[in-house]
Amino acid sequence: MQILFVADPLESFQIYKDTTFAMMRELQNRGHTLAACETKDIRWLQGECVTGFVRDITLTSVQASDSGHVGHAIDWFTAEQSHPNERPQALKDFDAVVMRKDPPFDSEFFYSTHLLEQAEREGARVFNKPRALRDHPEKLAIMEFPQFIGPTLVTRDASDIKRFHAEHQDIILKPLDGMGGMGIFRVKADGLNLGSVTETLNKNGAQSVMVQKFLPEIVKGDKRILVIGGKPVPFSLARIPQGTEVRGNLAVGGKGVAQSLSTRDLEIANSVGPVLAARGLLLAGIDVIGDCVTEINVTSPTCFQEITDQTGFDVAAMFVDALEAALTA
């Protein structure tokens, strides 16, 4: 099969840890052919199908360690085209389109989902489904599952935030469109800088903010539970904050430790996973602190390689099994 990846620039990949690279490697090992483009390479011309200017690629580095864990490996693939605009192809002509564009979920990402949805109407098979990506903003999506989350408020009103803080004393504030731990603040019982933090995040009432009760279990890690085709990967990756940092995100220096799913983790994954899968989310990452879901990641969930390296469980193989099953169903 011919698989198109819509992703960030290939030259930016850190292949020793990149989940998209792990997917590509497993697909190539099974004999599938690969192509890639960026969201900026997708267009819809009047009277034509949605088209991507793509590069046909072959992986030359099949071991993640080839990068030396330093910087970006730029020699891990070869491309038949020097520039994407050398070869246009209708998205419907690929066997599958795998959408792996990293957040943030900005207006351009939003428009890309509309183009991909049009490609679906023309016959393309897109994973995750574009409509599902739009319908599940990664912070807000947790509110649909109140039985699994801690005290949470979404508002742009500073007075609402003050009342929430007065009730819960120790809180976390975060922007709805953040990624990788960016823009997350903790305000303790003394309320120091609550007003300044609120003004920074809500842009003086112009933008909504998520506010959550601080979960002290973060010291044991912010667990990423991967759900593929509605079924949980049997291991999570606990991202454990280091030093004085309150955030466990790997992007800000958290330490990733793979661990078996707990009884509560399984309860969450087995309840939420099938719901997400039924909506067209082949892959999702459920973030859990203690017993509480804090985010549901659907745009470009990661941690495949970290879990595989530490446990031997081949997450990429599970993903490709699910993708192949979906394409032949």
Would residue 138 show up in a list of annotated catalytic residues for this protein? no
Q: The domain that contains 242 carries what CATH number?
A: 3.30.470.20
Residues 236, 249: one domain?
A: yes
Which residue matches tokens 């099974």? 30
141 in any annotated domain: no
Cα angle 64, 66, 67; round to 5: 90
Number of independent structural domains in the chain: 3
Q: Which residues neighbour 260 within 8 Å (Cβ) at sequence distance 6 or greater? A: 234, 235, 236
- Domain end (from 129, 162, 190): 129
Confirm whether 137 is domain-assigned.
no
Letter for the amino acid at 289?
Answer: I
Going by C-alpha positions, the residue among 167, 160, 177, 283 that lies closest to residue 229 is 283
Does 240 share its domain with 291? yes
Regarding whether 125 and 9 lie in a shared domain, the answer is yes
Nearest-angstrom CA–CA distance, 6 and 135: 19
Same-domain status, 229 and 209: no
Contact 161/211 with Cβ under 8 angstroms?
yes
For 211-245, what is each residue's pLDDT tens digit? 999 999 999 999 999 999 999 999 999 999 887 77
7 contact partners, CB below 8 Å, separation of at least 6:
20, 36, 38, 100, 101, 102
pLDDT band at 105; cut points 50, 70, 90 = confident
Predicted confidence (pLDDT) at residue 66 exceeds the cutoff of 50: no
The two three-digit tokens of residue 255, written as one number: 């330490």
Does one domain contain both 100 and 210? no
The reply to whether 135 falls in a domain is: no
How high is the pLDDT of residue 63?
Answer: 62
Residue 225 and residue 187 share a domain:
no
Closest listed residue to residue 16, CA positions, set 59, 70, 65, 62 = 65
Given 26, 222, 265, 295, the catalytic residue: 295
Judge if 190 and 284 occupy the same domain: no
Give per-residue pLDDT as tens, 35-65: 999 999 999 999 999 999 999 999 996 665 5
Q: Is 188 a catalytic residue?
A: no
190 is catalytic: no
142 lies in some domain: no
Exactly one of 92, 125, 129, 247 is catalytic; name it: 247
Residue from 318, 317, 304, 311 nearest 64 by CA? 304
Kindly calculate the radius of gyration of the chain based on its CA atoms and give it in whole angstroms: 20
Instruction: Calculate what percentage of the chain has a pLDDT beyond 90.
Output: 84
Which of 214, 232, 250 is the last residue before a domain boundary? 214
Same domain, 62 and 176: no
More confident residue, 90 or 72: 90
CATH code for the domain of 203: 3.30.1490.20
Which is the catalytic residue, given 101, 125, 129, 174? 174
C-alpha–C-alpha distance, residues 180 and 251, integer Å: 6
Mean pLDDT of the chain: 93
Q: Of 26, 100, 239, 249, which is the active-site residue?
A: 239
Domain encompassing residue 278: 217-328
Is residue 145 situated within a structural domain?
A: no
Residue keyed to tokens 């193989």: 317
- Annotation says 43 is catalytic: no
Q: Categorize the per-residue pLDDT at 70 as very low, low, confident or very high, splitting at 50, 70 and 90.
A: very low
Give the CATH number of the domain where residue 22 resides. Answer: 3.40.50.20
Question: Which of these is catalytic: 25, 139, 213, 223?
Answer: 139
- Which sign does the torsion angle of CA 311, 317, 320, 326 carry? negative
179 within a domain of the structure (yes/no):
yes
Instruction: Compute the distance between CA of residue 58 and CA of residue 77 in angstroms, rounded to an integer.
Output: 5
pLDDT digits (tens, 9 = 90+) for 11-28: 999 999 999 999 999 999
Q: Are residues 40 and 72 in the same domain?
A: yes
What pTM, to 2 d.p., does this model score? 0.92
pLDDT over 80 at 246, yes or no: no
Is 131 tagged catalytic?
A: no
157 tagged catalytic: no
My answer on whether 163 and 269 are in the same domain is no
pLDDT in tens, 257-291: 999 999 999 999 999 999 999 999 999 999 999 99
Catalytic choice (17, 25, 129, 224): 224
126-to-74, 163, 171, 249 alpha-carbon distances in Å: 27, 43, 38, 28
- Catalytic-labelled residue, pool 17, 249, 297, 306: 297
Q: Are residues 104 and 177 in the same domain?
A: no
Same domain, 204 and 120: no
Answer yes or no: is 289 within a domain: yes
Identity of residue 168:
H
Tell which of 191, 214, 237 closes a domain: 214
CA dihedral 177, 185, 289, 107 (to 10 degrees): 0
| Owner of token pair 């506010």 | 211
In this predicted model, what pLDDT tens digit does every residue of 125-158 receive, in sequence order? 999 999 999 999 989 999 999 999 999 999 999 9
- 192 belongs to a structural domain: yes
pLDDT at 305: 97
